[in-house]
Amino acid sequence: MDKLKMLSKNTSDENFKIISNLFPGLITEKVTGYEDDGTPIIEKVIDVDLLNKEISERIVSNNEQRFQFTWPEKIKNIVETNTPIFKTLRPSKEESVNFNKTKNLYLEGDNIEVLKMLQESYLNKIDVIYVDPPYNTGTDILYINDYSDNEDEFGEKYEVDSEGNRLYTNTDTNGRFHTNWLNMIYPRIKLSRNLLSDEGFFLIAIDHNELANLIQVCDEVFGFRNRIAIITVVHKPEGRNQAKFIGPSNEFMLVYAKNESTAKLQKVVLDEEQKKAFGCKDRQGAYRLKNFIRLSDGKYATKESKPNFWYPIYVSPDLKELTLTKKKNYEAVYPVTDTGVERTWKTTSDTFLDRYKEGNIIAKEDNGKIRIFEKLRENQVIRTHWIEKKYHGYHYGTKLLDDLLETKTFDFPKSLYLMRDIVKLFCPKEGIIFDYFSGSSTTAHATMMVNAEDGGNRKFIMSQIPAECDKKSDAYKAGYENICEIGKERIRRAGQKILEDNKDKESIEDLDIGFRVLKTDSSNMKDVYYKPEEISQNFLDTLEDNIKADRSGEDLLFQVMLDLGISLSAKIDLENIDGKEVYIVDDGHLIACFDKDIDDDLVTKLAKKEPVFVVFRDSSMKSDSSLNNFDQIFKRLSPETTRKVI
Ligand SMILES: C[S@@+](CC[C@H](N)C(=O)[O-])C[C@H]1O[C@@H](n2cnc3c(N)ncnc32)[C@H](O)[C@@H]1O
């Protein structure tokens, strides 16, 4: 039976696989190290010289000039992005809401670790990633990427918070000002792209400080062609008062598609003014009535300037039938105003019939006169300047949150209505939206709100580091020790409020206002078993168990789910079979039992359920014969099942 690796994905291994699938002839073998006894370790590698030849002239190397964006430590940063981590996500049922039923997630911890751990379970699965990172204004706290377990390297330079996160206030007097910020943002964006589905979008908020650098980074990761828009969001129309020259009143939102040829926006009209103009509604949606063509200079077209648009329409006495053929008792109506001024219809006689059949041309009687109108449908026009009042940060971000939590808790949350429009426009009704700088959880609030409005079933994933609240702050005094506590409480209260506000809506009780809380932590597994190269064999022999003493069955289950690429919101049933705790995930997709003394009877019962994966503990079989029988039983009853141990 194979042993699970219990490490986050090594993304450079994935890149290796992609290149070797495209060019199998490039694979060769080389000595990459030596065993303790001197035996060479030989591994498959890519022959870069051959790769260059495959691509022929279209390469650039060494010091040749090229277009590039770089900064000190970029290369180190790329390598570190691909390096796996030895961590896990542990469930916290007490802090969750509807743990068993919800499909929403709240992931507590440094987002670089969260992103690395999600690389299997959410590969190509996320529809929208929206992030609002620290803008690097000169006072931002950056959490230093910590891929190693080595505390000493930076120990002197960085503070460590109570959770052990290394933090650093990045001031602009610091020589590494931009380097630090780029080192922080680049790997996160790179890992984000892997998670997006082919239809998906990546959106990132930023202000003028790092705009130029961020565009370069995103262009590099997503490709310039996938840059869909740079949207200007007016969040503080009065501008910042203390500005020396010009007080910024707007910020930006960069929008990238994973693949612009397959990405799709949802059909919605965001502009409130436009919505008001389309005041009528029928089964096809909102519309307004127009009768005659008006030209761009404001004047009306005439019979002379547009002769194709001038013709009689024959209307039946009950106004229900319109035709271009003369009929008995049908009245001929011309494009003429009440006062007899000649105009033109909005449609030529050639296209009239199609528009009429679509239900878009109607006749009405007005003061004894028949008038003919065309229905103009509401158009989806998404502009690059989002200036409406609903996007302003103070009233619809800060104030709204203060009211909901009944105290001042969080500086500069996004406007709820900004996030609502983003959810509506970018996330399909059954989609997943992921915000890994989630702060006060505005994105979660907006997702539930939009689902309540249109009956959608969008799921959210929030991720936030438990950054400590200042002891002198109102938030701390109100009992919030860190930002995660603010974010989670907001979701709890917002969910209740949305239910209350929509209590008369059909099926509102089905709205998912829950969330599963999972927290990053060191691996459940003792290092010796999973990093044997670092530990001597003798030491290994002295240990009995490979699992840390304080870890529960559910802790193990979630690490297994991460390893096997199973969604963290999958349904989990705990059954007692023959006195053992058996986890049945996703109605039998995965079956896991971490109890000891497993016998043939239990193995037979589980094999009969024919799971896709079955996982046991390495040392869990009752006897050596059970271990031998295990494989035989599965081969006989469920040969397709992938069998693993931890
Ligand atoms: C600008 S705020 C986001 C505000 C959010 N859009 C809202 O409406 O409430 C950025 C958030 O990212 C968090 N953060 C910063 N570095 C992080 C990291 N490495 N991992 C997770 N969260 C982080 C900060 O604590 C802060 O809450």
Reported as a pLDDT band with limits 50, 70 and 90, residue 542 is very low
Q: Ligand 1: distance of its center to the CA of 464 in Å?
A: 6
The verdict on pTM exceeding 0.75 is: yes
Q: Tell me which of 147, 169, 437 to substitute to probe ligand 1's pocket, judged by most ligand atoms within 8 Å of the beta carbon.
A: 437
Query: Are 106 and 491 within 8 A, CB to CB?
Result: yes
Q: Ligand 1: distance of its center to the CA of 438 in Å?
A: 5
Q: How far apart are CA 604 and CA 630, in angstroms?
A: 8
Q: Ligand 1: distance of its center to the CA of 181 in Å?
A: 14
Nearest residue by C-alpha to atom 27 in ligand 1: 439
Ligand 1 atom with the smallest distance to the CA of 133 is 10
H-only helix segments in 233-305: 272-277
Average pLDDT over residues 506-517: 97
Burial class (CB in 10 A: 0-12, 13-18, 19+), 151: exposed
- How many angstroms separate the Cα of 461 from the Cα of each of 111, 269, 431, 458, 480? 12, 25, 11, 10, 21
Q: Ligand 1: distance of its center to the CA of 28 in Å?
A: 44
- Ligand 1 pocket (Cβ < 6 Å) reads 110-111, 132, 134, 143, 410, 413-414, 437, 439-440, 442, 463-465, 467, 483
Q: For residues 145 and 305, which has the higher predicted lDDT (pLDDT)?
A: 305
For helices 416-426 and 442-454, the axis angle rounded to 10 degrees is 60
Instruction: Say what the pLDDT of residue 156 is.
Output: 42
Query: Are 158 and 168 within 8 A, CB to CB?
Result: yes
φ, ψ dihedrals at 200, nearest 5°: -80, 165
Cβ-based neighbour number of residue 25 at 10 Å: 10
Task: Name 142's Cβ contacts closer than 8 Å, sequence gap at least 6.
Answer: 134, 167, 168, 169, 170, 180, 181, 184
Q: Tell me which of 464, 490, 520 to substitute to probe ligand 1's pocket, judged by most ligand atoms within 8 Å of the beta carbon.
A: 464
Burial class (CB in 10 A: 0-12, 13-18, 19+), 421: buried
126 pairs with which residues across the strands? 196
pLDDT at 336 over 90: yes
Q: How far apart are CA 21 and CA 44, in angstroms?
A: 13
- Which amino acid appears at position 128 of this protein? V
Reported as a pLDDT band with limits 50, 70 and 90, residue 149 is very low
Q: Determine the 3-state secondary structure of 568 from DSSP.
A: coil
Ligand 1 atom with the smallest distance to the CA of 467 is 25
DSSP for residue 87: E
Nearest residue by C-alpha to atom 14 in ligand 1: 437
Cβ-based neighbour number of residue 5 at 10 Å: 15
Looking only at the bridges linking them, the beta strands covering 613-616 and 590-593 are parallel
Average pLDDT over residues 343-366: 93
33 pairs with which residues across the strands? 41
Sign of CA dihedral 572, 493, 204, 425: positive
Cβ-based neighbour number of residue 282 at 10 Å: 12
Q: How far apart are CA 20 and CA 509, in angstroms?
A: 50
Helix (H) or strand (E) holding 216, with range, is helix 211-222
Q: Ligand 1: distance of its center to the CA of 395 in Å?
A: 20
Task: Name 536's Cβ contacts closer than 8 Å, sequence gap at least 6.
Answer: none
Nearest residue by C-alpha to atom 5 in ligand 1: 439
Query: Tokens standing for 521?
Result: 């932590």
Q: Ligand 1: distance of its center to the CA of 440 in Å?
A: 8
Instruction: Say what the pLDDT of residue 161 is.
Output: 72
Q: Determine the 3-state secondary structure of 401 from DSSP.
A: helix
Ligand 1 atom with the smallest distance to the CA of 463 is 21
Instruction: Say what the pLDDT of residue 532 is.
Output: 53
Q: Of all residues in the chain, what percent carry a pLDDT higher than 70?
A: 94
Average pLDDT over residues 152-159: 49
φ, ψ dihedrals at 643, nearest 5°: -105, 130
Q: How far apart are CA 364 and CA 366, in angstroms?
A: 6
Task: Name 398's Cβ contacts closer than 8 Å, sequence gap at least 6.
Answer: 410, 411, 412, 413
Q: How far apart are CA 596 and CA 67, in angstroms?
A: 59
Most distant CA pair in the chain, distance: 105
Ligand 1 atom with the smallest distance to the CA of 142 is 16
- How many angstroms separate the Cα of 448 from the Cα of each of 69, 200, 433? 39, 20, 11
Nearest residue by C-alpha to atom 25 in ligand 1: 467
Nearest to 84 by CA among 6, 189, 140, 137: 6
Query: Are 313 and 319 within 8 A, CB to CB?
Result: no
Q: Ligand 1: distance of its center to the CA of 144 in Å?
A: 14
Q: How far apart are CA 644 and CA 646, in angstroms?
A: 7
φ, ψ dihedrals at 500, nearest 5°: -65, -45
Reported as a pLDDT band with limits 50, 70 and 90, residue 533 is low
Ligand 1 atom with the smallest distance to the CA of 165 is 19
Query: Are 413 and 439 within 8 A, CB to CB?
Result: yes
Ligand 1 atom with the smallest distance to the CA of 439 is 27
Reported as a pLDDT band with limits 50, 70 and 90, residue 153 is very low
CA terminus-to-terminus distance, the chain: 10
Instruction: Say what the pLDDT of residue 511 is.
Output: 98
Q: How far apart are CA 68 and CA 585, in angstroms?
A: 47
Q: Ligand 1: distance of its center to the CA of 115 in Å?
A: 14
Q: Ligand 1: distance of its center to the CA of 126 in Å?
A: 19
Q: How far apart are CA 209 and CA 201, in angstroms?
A: 23
SS (H, E, C) 622-642: CCHHHHHHHHHHHHHHCCCCE
Instruction: Say what the pLDDT of residue 157 is.
Output: 55
pLDDT (tens digit, 9 = 90+) per residue, 555-581?
999 999 999 999 999 999 999 999 999
DSSP for residue 350: H
Q: How many residues does the chain have?
A: 646
Q: Tell me which of 163, 438, 442, 470 to substitute to probe ligand 1's pocket, judged by most ligand atoms within 8 Å of the beta carbon.
A: 438
Average pLDDT over residues 597-604: 92
Q: How far apart are CA 65 and CA 337, in angstroms?
A: 68
Q: Residue 384, CB half-sphere, CA atoms under 13 Å: how many? A: 8
Nearest to 202 by CA among 212, 192, 194: 192
Q: Tell me which of 465, 485, 489, 518 to substitute to probe ligand 1's pocket, judged by most ligand atoms within 8 Å of the beta carbon.
A: 465
Instruction: Say what the pLDDT of residue 170 is.
Output: 87
Q: Of all residues in the chain, what percent carry a pLDDT higher than 90?
A: 71
Q: Ligand 1: distance of its center to the CA of 57 in Å?
A: 45
Q: Ligand 1: distance of its center to the CA of 207 in Å?
A: 15
